[in-house]
Amino acid sequence: TAMKLVVTGGAGYVGSVCAARLIEAGHEVVVVDDLSTGHADAVPGGARFIEGDAAETAETLLGEGFDGVLHFAAKSLVGESMQDPGKYWNGNVVTSLRLLDAMRVHGTPRLVFSSTAATYGEPDSSPIPESAATRPTNTYGASKLAIDHAITSYARAHGLAAVSLRYFNVAGAYGAYGERHATETHLIPIVLQVATGDREQVQIYGEDYPTEDGTAVRDYIHVVDLADAHQLALAGAAAGEHRIYNLGNGTGFSVRQVIEACREVTGHPIPAAVAPRREGDPAALVAAAGRAREELGWTPERADLAGIVGDAWRFTQSRRGATAPR
């Protein structure tokens, strides 16, 4: 059934893809985004767009009556969170608390929240189930975990139907919707910038991790599979409950393996150099995502790394065509 939804952060990477898919599924979508890291032209055509702070906007907007909120708006860079923690405690935690209060005041029944594998920190064993200990190694993860705790108590006390989705490493693109940050920090887009010639080489952050080739291992998930899970979460949310699901493919790829996949997809040699570890980075994060499969009926259909990189590569090339005065 069609719902009326607020999508915070719908001008960003994951938010814009999810908003586009929600609109295609027949939902009515209002995107709220302050454009601090998003782009106005990434907001899907069928959405109403309000430029503004997620919390401040929600405090009045939700009075119109909505079926739910998908809360993507956030600061999401591990390195930056270690340098400037206030940006994360204020930007993520304070904003989300105000949003929760606005939802309570206006009786908005459903919330789907973008949580993260960074809430787990360095795991005791791999792959990581939702029952694993949460000991974030960086402020980004700590801020998202604090919000998860708040959502649990709001759901219990106020009857909110809430789902937190713990993303592993989101990658790939959906047609014209993809990852484009002013300063890119994520591995796959950086490697593809080397392939386009916009960057000379990729730095491998650490080669002394306790992994097979010494580089850090991550679970890369296609952004469209991720978007599908949001729709299932919205449909499956239950009043008074806060459910938490990992979203990943259950397969880890090392930094070196990702670079190799990009070499194969792009046909570019992609020079790489070893650099020191990045502060706050765990050695390996791989999802046990059985709960999302069993309870939400979620089946990721785009797990192949070359396919994920291929979609990101097509997007990167099309953006260069669109923007490049060189």
> Which residues lie near ligand UDP (CB under 6 A)?
78, 169, 185-187, 190, 202-205, 216, 218, 255, 278, 281
Q: From the CB of 280, what's the least distance to ligand UDP, in Å?
A: 8
Sign, Cα dihedral of 141, 131, 12, 217: positive
Q: Check if the beta carbon of residue 29 is closer than 8 Å to that of residue 44.
A: yes
Q: From the CB of 26, what's the least distance to ligand UDP, in Å?
A: 32
Those residues whose C-beta lies under 8 Å from the C-beta of residue 122, and which sit 6 or more positions away, are 135, 137, 282, 283
Sign, Cα dihedral of 148, 149, 150, 151: positive
Q: From the CB of 186, what's the least distance to ligand UDP, in Å?
A: 4
Comparing every residue's Cβ against ligand UDP, the nearest one is: 216
Q: One of 13, 88, 140, 205 is an active-site residue; which one?
A: 140
Q: Which is nearer to ligand UDP, 206 or 310 (CB)?
A: 206
Q: Which is nearer to ligand UDP, 52 or 280 (CB)?
A: 280
Q: What is the C-alpha to C-alpha distance for residues 242 and 63, in angstroms, rounded to an integer?
A: 23
What string of DSSP letters covers 243-278? Answer: EEEEES-S--EEHHHHHHHHHHHH-----EEEEPPP
Verify whether residue 140 is a known catalytic residue: yes
Q: Which is nearer to ligand UDP, 39 or 278 (CB)?
A: 278
Rounded to 10 degrees, the C-alpha dihedral 100/139/274/173 comes to 0
Q: Which two tokens stand for residue 291?
A: 């709960």
Q: From the CB of 66, what's the least distance to ligand UDP, in Å?
A: 30
Q: Which is nearer to ligand UDP, 155 or 259 (CB)?
A: 259
- Which residues are tagged catalytic? 140
